[in-house]
Structure 1
Amino acid sequence: PEDYIERATLKNAKRYTTKRLKEFEEKIVNAEDKINDLEYEMFNTIREKVEKETKNILETARNIAIVDVLACFAEIAEQYNYCKPIINHENKIIIKDGRHPVIEQISLDEQFIPNDCYLDNENDQLLIITGPNMAGKSTYLRQVALICIIAQMGCFVPAKSATIGIIDQIFTRIGASDDLARKLSTFMIEMTETAKILNYATPKSLVIIDELGRGTSTSDGQSIAMATLEKLHESKIKTLFSTHYHQLTEIDLPGVKNYHLDIIENDDGSINFVRTLNPGSTDKSYGIHVAKLAGIPDDVIIRAFEILEQIEEKDPFRSTVRENGESASSSKYYDKIIDEKKVELDKINRELKSIKESLSECIGDLSRNQKDLERVQNEIKGLEAKRVKISETKTPKKKKYVQTSLFEPLSSKENLKDLLHIIKEIDINSDTPEKIKEDLKELTRKIEKLS
């Protein structure tokens, strides 16, 4: 057909196209560019509109977030039977039938057992909580802290009732983990967190400590746990202190109360966890029973019971706790710490002296530089004054003209007119050569007179 346009020639065939197909091809090729252009144009349009309403959008988003949080609070409170807490300025925490907000939803096959909590800065300041492994000590500690946080967020709390005095900070020492990146061992992290508690907690704070001292030897751990407990008692800080050092329950300090989580020990040696918090202490952790539940061989369990009996018969730490450590007080440890502090103080003094010397040198350099700066500024001011004075007294010079022709310039307009008149009277066509010579001689004389 005539409208076919040859496009390519192959070995055994030819390819053709038409004007119509060419137009479609161009549309397809340009379609993607047009799509990108339209998309970018729409993006710019939307961006400009959003930019004009940025303030309103941010304010709306903030209000929506507040409504979302409050709606979540309301839904959770209604769905899980939370109560409205009473917040006041008293240094008391009173919780009736408190529950852990997460674990009670996870353990759907087992009913969560609620427990009470009463803390103040006088009679119930420090609660020592003992009980076997897996009895729920850590859960109880966490639920009290969470209820206090949730209450101060403005949300209902998982309890039957709650009266909570405003808390400025909550400190926790829970769990065991190391930090290889920072080269910190489990025990170092444990001690670092404990140091922050002892240095920064106030009577308005709540402290949660779970099994302090388990990251080191038994004797060191027991000593640190007891010393920390005494310091917290002295500072009047509300504290929940769980431990497997049952000797600590015999400490005799006002405001320190003992609580334990009950279990039921069966005739066959197995145990059932009741998870109810009751006053008083327990003298067993039932760790060997838990090891048996985990599948430790019977001969290992039997040997563990034998060793435990021997250890408990020889327990000097129990008598130390009963005496509150007073009989073991010795000045040699004070002397040791004082000597260490003196060495540290000497080191600081040497560093301070070095810094003072460096500072004196810097002050001297600064003074010299300041004087040099003032000298240079004065020199600049003097030079500027001289420049102004010279510019004021300097008279402008007359412009000199340089003669660029063979003849000197004419001195007056009259002489110039005479010369022009003589030149005009010279008629080269009609005058004789003698006449022209005379006129030129006259012109020469006139020019000589002008010079």
Structure 2
Amino acid sequence: MSYTPMIQQYLAIKAQYQDAFLFFRLGDFYEMFFEDAKKASKELEIALTSRNGGKDEYIPMCGIPYHAAKQYIKVLIDKGYKIAICEQMEDPKQAKGMVRREVIQMITPGTIMEDESLQPKKNNYLAALSGFDDGSFGFAMSDLTTGETRVTLIASWDGVIQEMDANDVRELVLAPKFAPDKKEELAERLNMTFSECEQDNVPETLKHITVGIDQDKLLHPLGRLLNYLVSTQKRSLDHLQQADVYHINEFMMIDLHSRRNLELTHTNREKKVYGSLLWLLDDVKTAMGGRRLKQWIEKPLLNQTEIEKRMDAAAALKDHLLERETLRSLLGNVYDLERLVGRVSFGNVNPREVVQLKRSLEQIPEIKRTLSELGEESLSKYEQEMDPCAEVRKLITEAIVDDPPFTTADGGMIKKGYNETLDQYRDATTHGKQWIAELEAREREETGIRSLKIGYNRVFGYYIEVSRPNLKLIPEGRYERRQTLSNAERFITPELKEKERIILEAEEKRVGLEFQLFGDVRMQIKEQSARLQKLARLVSGLDVLQSFASVSDRNSYVRPQFSKDRTLSITNSRHPVIEKVMRNGSFVANDINMDKHCDLLMITGPNMGGKSTYMRQAALTAIMAQIGCFVPADQAIVPVFDQIFTRIGAADDLVSGQSTFMVEMDEANYALSHATQNSLILLDEIGRGTSTYDGIAIAQAIVEYIHDHIAAKTFFSTHYHELTFLEEKLDRLKNIHVGAMEENGTVVFLHKVLSGQADKSYGIHVAKLAGLPDNLIERADEILTGLEASSSNKIQSVAPVSFDPAGKVEAAATVEEEPEQLALFAEPKHAEEAPALSKRERKVLHDLDKIELLTMTPMDAMNTLYQLQKDLKK
């Protein structure tokens, strides 16, 4: 026995969309069957049922109401799934045989258009990638919601991963034969959905998007991207903008690890925007300004002229508070022009959104007037090039009511006077309903039934309703019975039936004509998409600049100067985010001084003293400067950095089986392999993941390599005080330290960066702050004294390693064999000296004895001490 015709139809369509949930329209529901049903019932937490499919066994089935589909689609999209929407293409009442069904759209993470699944201040990128024999890659991406399309050529696989991460690509389209190992690596390192498309020739209907592009390496990924959009969206893509060819070397390169370590767009621990640089600088008034701000932070500029243009504009707005506040107020009334234009072109814009477009356009003349009053050359571009699109505004004003409904289903969105035929239908409907009201009054009067009423429903149309106790008052033969209820009867008259026909016919024609007229308005707006998109770009850029001005003014930031000789000099530098979060003015500012004769700062000092903060604020200052924003300092002179590298924090890569030390070495190697003289490198506690002397040797070799072969501006934080002697050996290295002092046996962190080296790490003091038992702290002091005495003459000053031009070691450093570790807890000389310890305390001491303290990171040590303390308190 075969499946039923309907299930056969389902299986035939599903075969074309194996990697997607098939939402199969049956009446008022989207149904799913077989494996789709099983998986959807779990993911959507809906009931799994079954139905007879024509064979002996019942097939799994689940469904969702079509009118509630958006919320279910959002859940699936957020989890990275794809959905194929299969609709009934004919009226079931008129269909002969099986109702014809087709997939009208594929909804995927990279092509979602509904606001429920979009973040207002975040682009939603779909990308395509093509690899070539020379190791390079063509990369194309598009945000379907805004029409923005960009292409570039990437020289290396590392560059591909960085570009994917920087743009937070949601979905990637690849050729079916794309290298499996590279695809697997992308899946492990980045969170995205993968799709396949073989065809990479640009569709004829979209050739205009490729104008000016003649490189095959760019056309291949762009063609693959466009073919995927055509095959999945099955509708007009006219809003896609002409592809912008950009070059990666136009922007500061920030690798994936550095981007996360510096918490540019979200925090490391909680993955939230709060606490990131994006959060700090986000004082924009529009959603599109928020997206533009994120783009600028992800891609700081290298062209000093372009940087200065942004700063000139930000400075002008910063210096004119009243005009800036006026602009902010006006921008606050501008809706998301980019996505509104996208929805207009895509065909899913609703009447309220069209009115939002009009209200946005109403702000443009006032914005231009305010910019004119400023009279600043740096802002003249925005004043002169902003097109108010007056024709679009006039069209919407004349055609659409001021407070339209959300949908077009029942009409009510077209203004009176816009179309004469529509007005006639409305009059017929209005007069008909007036006649109904007059009929009701007349019938009440003539029958004497005061409760008589005339109602309407979609099934029976208009009717006269009389309650059961009053039925006896109806003159015989006056009405024709239509429906019986438990407490009333409903009637009709020939006259009422004729009026019903006239009213319903006029109503149906009114709704149909309104829908048609709204479609015409939408098409006229769509024809102006390019003008509206250009306007949106200008408004979003202006919004970011006013945000820079507002944040800089509020936080007393200064305009940085750019040095030609690689001088990095910042007076009273502050960490912008930490300073903001503290809010009590207690952040301790520090100077950063690296003139042309200094390339490396060796930073020593205690845990929690502020070394990492000091390093990060230098990097954040550089990034803020190169996106065109003022910086947190009293004065700042900075180079234009081409790249930033960071090795901060410790983490095992358990998935690939790499230890903390291996991850540390990989990240250090990446920096050493890619950095140039114009780069900024931040290295925190290099060498801590191995034995003490191995760590010292590796750390010293890295410092010397950077000094001798790269000469990048480098911050090197370390607990290896033994390395501070390098200041005497390397002429471009300086020692600095974060200050601390002891008062009555307690350490006080000054958070002040001073010249020279630190005298100690104060690790035991940190343990005391964590609350470990006093007798444990005393014993640790004893052990430390013994270790220092034992090893004071063992570690030799190692001569700097020299390298040949290829970077190979010519003369290796030598160190004496590491001394035997002291017993952590020596046996007491006399039994009476032994402390009376509980079983729990003895276990804690035993665990402490096993700790390799000198190989632990500060955070690992804190966590371990915290656990020991908890064990003692049990």
The two structures share one fold, judged by TM-score above 0.5:
yes
1:192 aligns with 2:666: yes
2:748 is equivalent to residue 277 of structure 1: no
The reply to whether residue 234 of structure 1 matches residue 711 of structure 2 is no
**How many residue pairs are counted as aligned between the two chains?**
328
What is the alpha-carbon distance in structure 1 between the residues aligned to residue 769 and residue 640 of structure 2? 43
- Report 1:372-411 matches (<5 A): none
1:130 and 2:604 equivalent? yes
Query: Partner of 1:303: helix, strand, or coil?
Result: helix
Paired with 1:253 and 1:197, the residues of 2 have a C-alpha distance of 20
Whether 2:644 is the aligned partner of 1:170: answer yes
Q: Offset at 1:295? A: 1.4
CA offsets per residue over residues 105-164 of structure 1, 9 Å max, x none? 111235111111112453x21110111111111110011111111112222111111111
Q: Which residue of 1 is the match for residue 723 of structure 2?
A: 248
Seen in structure 2, the aligned counterparts of structure 1 residues 8 and 213 have a Cα distance that, compared at 3 Å, is same
Name 2:123's counterpart in structure 1.
none
**Secondary structure at the counterpart of residue 84 of structure 1:** coil
Give the TM-score of the pair, scaled to structure 1: 0.65
Is the 1:121–1:238 contact (alpha carbons within 8 Å) kept by the matching residues of 2? no
| Structure 1: distance between partners of 2:503 and 2:778 | 85
Q: What's the CA shift string for 1:283-302, capped at 9, x where partnerless?
A: 31111111111112222222
Deviation digits for residues 215-247 of structure 1, max 9, x if unmatched?
A: 333333222211111111112221111111111
Report the alpha carbon displacement of residue 180 of structure 1 after superposing the two structures with TM. 3.9
Aligned to 2:576, the other structure's residue is in SS state coil
For residue 688 of structure 2, the aligned residue among 184, 203, 214 is 214
Compute the displacement of 1:35 (Å): 9.8
User: How far apart are residue 55 of structure 1 and its match?
Assistant: 0.9
Corresponding residue SS for 1:172: strand
- For the structure 1 residues 41 and 112, does the alpha-carbon distance in structure 2 shift closer, same or farther, using more than 3 Å as the test? farther
- Tell me which amino acid in the other structure corresponds to 1:77: S
For the 8 Å contact 2:701–2:800, the answer to whether it is kept is no
Q: Provide the secondary structure at the position in 2 that maps to 1:166.
A: coil
Instruction: Please show how residues 265-414 of structure 1 align to structure 2 within 5 Å.
Output: 265-267=742-744, 269-315=745-791, 319-324=795-800, 329=811
- Residue 231 of structure 1 aligns to which amino acid in structure 2? Y
Matching residue of 1:259: 736
Corresponding letter in the other structure for 1:257:
K
Does 2:586 align with 1:111?
yes
Q: Deviations over 1:151-193 (max 9, x none)?
A: 1222211111111122211111112223444444333322121
2:792 and 2:573 map into 1 onto residues whose CA distance is 38
In 2, the alpha carbon distance for the partners of 1:170 and 1:204 equals 9
* Amino acid corresponding to residue 775 of structure 2 in structure 1: D
What secondary structure does 2:557 align onto? coil
Using the TM superposition, give the Cα deviation of residue 26 of structure 1 relative to its aligned residue in structure 2, in angstroms. Answer: 8.9
Q: Which residue of structure 2 aligns with residue 419 of structure 1?
A: none
Distance 1:317 1:46 in 2: 87
Radius of gyration: which is bigger? 1
- Whole-Å separation in 2 of the counterparts to 1:109 and 1:158: 16
Structure 1 residue ranges, 4+ long, deviating more than 6 angstroms after superposition: 20-36
TM-score where L is the length of structure 2: 0.35
2:534 to 59, 65, 71: 59
* Residues 39, 108 of structure 1: alpha-carbon distance in 2 compared, 3 angstrom cutoff: farther
> Which stretch of structure 1 is more off in the superposition, 13-22 or 28-37?
28-37
The AA in structure 1 aligned to 2:525 is V
Contact 2:607 2:761 in 1 (8 A): yes
Report the CA distance shift for 1:239/1:161 in structure 2 as closer, same or farther (over 3 A). same
Say which of 607, 614, 631 aligns to 1:140: 614
**What corresponds to 1:81 in structure 2?**
556
Letter in 2 for 1:108: R
Change (3 A) 1:197 1:45: same
Task: Quickly say closer, same or farther: Cα 1:302–1:88, change in 2 above 3 A.
Answer: same
CA contact (8 A) 1:90 1:166 kept: no
Partners of 1:247 and 1:317 within 8 A in 2? no
8 Å Cα contact 1:172/1:208 also seen in 2: yes
Looking at structure 2, the residues matched to 207 and 198 of structure 1 have their Cα atoms a distance apart, in angstroms, of: 9
In structure 2, what is the Cα distance between the partners aligned to 1:167 and 1:331? 32
After the TM superposition, which of the residue ranges 14-23 and 131-140 deviates more from structure 2?
Answer: 14-23
1:231 match: secondary structure: helix
Contact 2:700 2:723 in 1 (8 A): yes
Q: Structure 1: how far apart are the matches of 2:662 and 2:509?
A: 64
Q: Distance in 1 between matches of 2:813 and 2:565?
A: 40
Residues 204 and 325 from structure 1, CA distance in 2 versus in 1: closer, same or farther, beyond 3 angstroms? closer
> Aligned partner of 2:771: which letter?
G
Query: In structure 2, what residue type is equivalent to 1:133?
Result: N
- What is the alpha-carbon distance in structure 2 between the residues aligned to residue 85 and residue 21 of structure 1? 81
Q: 1:341 — aligned with what? A: none
Distance in 2 (alpha carbons) for counterparts of 1:291 and 1:33: 80
Instruction: Note closer, same or farther for the CA distance 1:31–1:92 as it changes in structure 2 (3 Å cut).
Output: farther
Report the Cα distance in structure 1 between the residues aligned to 2:716 and 2:586, rounded to whole angstroms: 25
Equivalent pair of 2:736/2:754 in contact (CA under 8 Å): yes
Identity rate, percent: 43
Alignment-derived partner of residue 422 in structure 1: none
Would you tell me which structure has more helix in proportion to its own residues? 1
- Residue type of the alignment partner of 2:614: Y
Distance 2:490 2:813 in 1: 109
TM-superposed CA distance for 1:41, in Å, is 4.2
* SS state at 2:579 partner: helix
Deviations 1:26-51 (A, max 9, x none): 99999998898578546634531332
Tell me if the contact between 1:4 and 1:16 (Cα under 8 Å) persists in the aligned partners.
no
2:779 alignment partner, SS class: helix
Query: Gaps spanning 5+ residues in structure 1: where?
Result: 333-451
Answer yes or no: is the 8 Å Cα contact 1:120–1:238 preserved in 2: no
User: d(CA) in 2 for partners of 1:272 and 1:108?
Assistant: 21
What secondary structure is seen at the aligned counterpart in 2 of 1:302? helix
- Flag the 1:95–1:277 CA change in 2: closer, same or farther, 3 A: same
Closer/same/farther in 2, CA of residues 280 and 46 from structure 1, 3 Å limit: farther
C-alpha change, 1:82 and 1:41, in structure 2 (3 Å) is same
Aligned AA (1:255): R
Q: Do the aligned partners of residues 330 and 258 (structure 1) sit closer, same or farther apart at CA in structure 2, a change above 3 Å counting?
A: closer
1:95 aligns with 2:574: no
Q: Distance in 1 between matches of 2:604 and 2:537?
A: 46
Secondary structure of 1:127's counterpart equals: strand
Partner SS for 2:607: coil
Equivalent position to 2:699, from 198, 213, 225: 225
**Could you list the per-position Cα deviations for residues 268-296 of structure 1 after superposition, in whole angstroms to 9, with x for gaps in the alignment?**
x2122211111011131111111111112
AA partner of residue 723 (structure 2): L
* Alignment of 1:18 onto 2:492: yes
Task: Say which SS state the counterpart of residue 314 (structure 1) adopts.
Answer: helix
Q: Does the 8 A contact of 1:3 with 1:18 survive in 2?
A: no
1:159 aligns with 2:633: yes
